[in-house]
Amino acid sequence: MRPRRVVLNVAAAAVLAVMIFPVYWMFATAFKPTAEIQSETPGLWPAHPTLEHFATAVGADGFWTFWRNSLAVTGAAVLLALVVALLSAFAVARMRWRGRGPFIVMVFAAQMAPWEALLVPMFVIARDAELLDSLAMLTGVYFMVTLPFTIVTLRGFLAAVPAEVEEAALVDGCTRFAAFRRVIFPLLAPGLMATSLFGFITAWNEFAFVNVLIIKDQDKRTLPVWLSSFRDVFGTDWGATMAAATLFALPVLVLFLFLQRRVGAGMISGAVKG
């Protein structure tokens, strides 16, 4: 048995190393002085760590504008999706009504909507409505992209809160709304956080629609577009590019590590991708 364990652990270590390497290399490059980046034999870690690349990235034209745009669009879309989804999830999980079944089917179908196929019509619609180069339109799209899965996930969390808890509050004289606010909402908080995390990742990442909907007004672009055009910004300065990629990935990774412990890794399997 012993040699098998060793082989298994070595294999696992190899998988771990291969998986983590690209992310590690991003961090490592971001902290290396340019001389080290350009040396014949790349060092595995920065021998003389420096922050100059981060300074270059942050000082680049429009970085803060794009950062603010990204944050505003993502935040607004996720918040809107949470509120709207909470209403729907409540209706689905707690009430019986005609059309409930079909509504659930529609939500599931919308969750798999082929958004990539809607780039052209969305562009035409935005143009007709004079909503090109508008962050509001972008927010609307991200809201709709994240909404279906937010409904599904919140409904799951809502269903896990026993109805008796709510009934008890109603019996004690709470209004329906007060019962929700004082009893269900606190119990739901972890679910809301987990759901918003996945919505945040989706919207923060989004690239195709910004590319289509933000055309002339360069100040309305978001971080993914900015990062993808880094060649125009940094040329071949890979240190600054990796520093920019780090700054882009960091909010998501930090949020993720922070929330993962609260939410539990099991949530990953309940989550959406793509």
Footprint of other proteins on residues 102-161 (CB under 8 A)? 103-125, 127-128, 140-141, 143-144, 147, 149, 151-153, 155-157, 159-161
DSSP 222: -
Task: State which of residues 51, 55, 163, 178 lies at the interface with other proteins (CB under 8 A).
Answer: 163
Q: If you search the block for the tokens 């909907």, which residue do you land on?
A: 213
Candidate segments 46-54, 61-69, 71-79, 262-270, binder of other proteins by CB under 8 A: 262-270
Nearer to other proteins (CB atom), residue 55 or residue 253: 253
Helix (H, G, I), strand (E, B) or coil at 12: helix
Q: In this structure, are residues 95 and 163 in contact, taking their beta carbons and an 8 Å threshold?
A: no
Least distance between other proteins and beta carbon 75 (Å): 16
Least distance between other proteins and beta carbon 60 (Å): 14
Can residue 180 be called a binding residue for other proteins (CB under 8 A)?
Answer: no
How many residues sit close enough to other proteins to count as binding (CB under 8 A)?
Answer: 116
- State how far the Cα of 2 lies from the Cα of 231, in Å rounded to an integer: 51
Can residue 188 be called a binding residue for other proteins (CB under 8 A)?
Answer: no
Q: In this structure, are residues 146 and 199 in contact, taking their beta carbons and an 8 Å threshold?
A: yes
Nearer to other proteins (CB atom), residue 26 or residue 71: 26
Q: If you search the block for the tokens 């339109």, which residue do you land on?
A: 137
Least distance between other proteins and beta carbon 59 (Å): 19
For residue 221, count other CB atoms closer than 10 A to its CB: 21
Helix (H, G, I), strand (E, B) or coil at 148: helix
